Structure 1
Amino acid sequence: MQTGQQPSIVGVRRALQGQLRLLTELRGRERQSGATELAEVDVILAGGEETPLLFQRQLNRVLGSFPFPSPGFWVSDRATGTTLSPAQQQGFKAPPEPCAFLQLGQRFEGRQRVKHGSKGEHWNVTVTIQGVTHAMGRLCGTLEAYNIPDSERPVTTFFEGEIVDNVNHTFFTSEYGACIESDLRHWSRFKTFQALRREVMASGGRHSGLARHRHVYMRWKERFFVEGCECRLTIAGFYYLCLDRITGAIEGLYFDPSSTPDQQLTLEPQQAAGDEGLAFGHVDIA
């Protein structure tokens, strides 16, 4: 789910006024009256108090009709007062490139550590990606856990995942019992998120640099048990995850609002059997 803040009508209005002064000066230099455009802008300025996003679209349409280039204007976030530059706004529209480690059949192996006070458990875990749709920021797969106390066989669950991409999903969850506070608390435990935190807080859970960021951030939500449903485990919570695009390593943190144990997941990518040294040549046929 996406959340976001609407731009401040005051911020848009102030930015527009400065831009209109520049446009009017340019028009005067070119001896173009532009009376119709200015009149329409005046009408829009008189309204739009209740619908700032529609207000901004109307302004963009009118400003786009001017016969000379219009510089992008800065928008304020209503909740924080933080000003977003045109470059930042454009960055929100550019989702991260597809990650080579997120593809059908990719397998990861590692461990999940569950800490109960001074005691702890370690489970071996295998994750297999069963499907990915980068355009929608979604993936799915299975998570198989071994060595679970009181379970004679491995426990397998099916999960659905969201890729944080600014377009389909943001850093703010807004479901599964999570809130902005719990989101920021868990994301901030990843060292790579520290440099993103300030803008994420100011931009409704988005960050303009994700398209060129080394790491991919995800959420995985287990939906049902494939086998081992008789065990004492629950799947009420979900995972916050950070994947390194270069190494393929994944760090994960499990969040369940009704459970207190600290759970951490660490995974490493595994090369599929038979893939070693496999290559394809290119032949041009006349």
Structure 2
Amino acid sequence: MFESSYLRNGAQFHGIQKSDGNKTFDVSVTVLHVNTEQSMLCGFFKISGLSGNNSSLTTYFEAEIIGDKYGFLTRWPEWGASESTDYKHWKRLGAFQYAKRKVPLRRIKPYDPWKKGTIYMRWKELAMLDKVNDFQFRSRNSSSDVSFEGFYYIAFSQRTGRISGYYYHYKFDHFQYLELDPVLNRTFPVLEFL
């Protein structure tokens, strides 16, 4: 069994998101809460280097952890992902690298994700923060030049803490790649000798 010290309450990750034309954006993620029993987690996602009125954007997201509760097949029709879309994204993230042929996603049996070296997730941004300190949220229906209607397919390595992912929105044909590494807390405990 793998036990990751990286995927925990308060964990932080930093890296980049690349889009078409090799535009690169700075990304920071903070995990607020991991609920292993419900196979979910939540946190804040901050992306910087955007054009327009918002040079940076912080959103609140929730994640479904693929395994015994959530399958590889996206259950939310309003997200616009088909079984073919799901398969393409999960395959790019290495989910089916040992499969000899294409496996229907609905036939994959539930499993304990915590016993695997890679944990797969779906991250869905649900609200945009107006003021981080006041936790005032704007829903995605409010007026903004930035959209977060899509969601992320995520692969998390329990060994290294690295997060790889792809943003998907049904209006886009291209893949937007996400790559994050854990931010290691370099503080040491204080010892007092008597």
TM-score relative to the length of structure 2: 0.80
Residue by residue over 1:183-209, the C-alpha shift from the partner in whole angstroms, topping out at 9 and shown as x without a partner, is 111101123531258585376233658
Residues 227/198 of structure 1: CA separation in 2 closer, same or farther (3 Å cut)? farther
Residues 192/153 of structure 1: CA separation in 2 closer, same or farther (3 Å cut)? same
**Matched AA of 1:102:** L
Larger Rg: 1
Greater fraction of residues in helix: 1
- Give the whole-Å Cα distance in 2 for the aligned partners of 1:194 and 1:186: 12
With a CA cutoff of 8 Å and minimum separation of 6, indicate the structure with the bigger relative contact order. Answer: 2
Unaligned runs of 5+ in 2: 132-137
Residues 202/159 of structure 1: CA separation in 2 closer, same or farther (3 Å cut)? closer
Q: CA deviation at 1:132?
A: 1.1
1:244 aligns with 2:164: no
**Is the 2:3–2:114 Cα contact (8 Å) retained in structure 1?**
no
The 3-state SS of whatever aligns with 1:135 is coil
Match of 1:100 in 2: 5
**Is the 2:164–2:179 Cα contact (8 Å) retained in structure 1?**
yes
Aligned equivalent of 1:232, options 145, 153, 169 = 145
Residues 205/276 of structure 1: CA separation in 2 closer, same or farther (3 Å cut)? same
Aligned equivalent of 1:146, options 38, 42, 48 = 48
What aligned pairs does 1:1-286 form with structure 2 within 5 A after superposition?
99-115=4-20, 119-165=21-67, 167-175=68-76, 176-195=79-98, 201=104, 204-206=107-109, 210=113, 212-227=115-130, 231-272=144-185, 275-278=186-189
**Matched AA of 2:74:** T
**Is the 1:111–1:267 Cα contact (8 Å) retained in structure 2?**
yes
TM-score relative to the length of structure 1: 0.56
How many percent identity over aligned positions? 27
**Is the 2:8–2:31 Cα contact (8 Å) retained in structure 1?**
yes
- Give the whole-Å Cα distance in 1 for the aligned partners of 2:166 and 2:66: 15
- Give the whole-Å Cα distance in 1 for the aligned partners of 2:84 and 2:102: 15
Greater fraction of residues in strand: 2
Residues 114/128 of structure 1: CA separation in 2 closer, same or farther (3 Å cut)? same
Match of 1:35 in 2: none
- Give the whole-Å Cα distance in 2 for the aligned partners of 1:120 and 1:196: 31
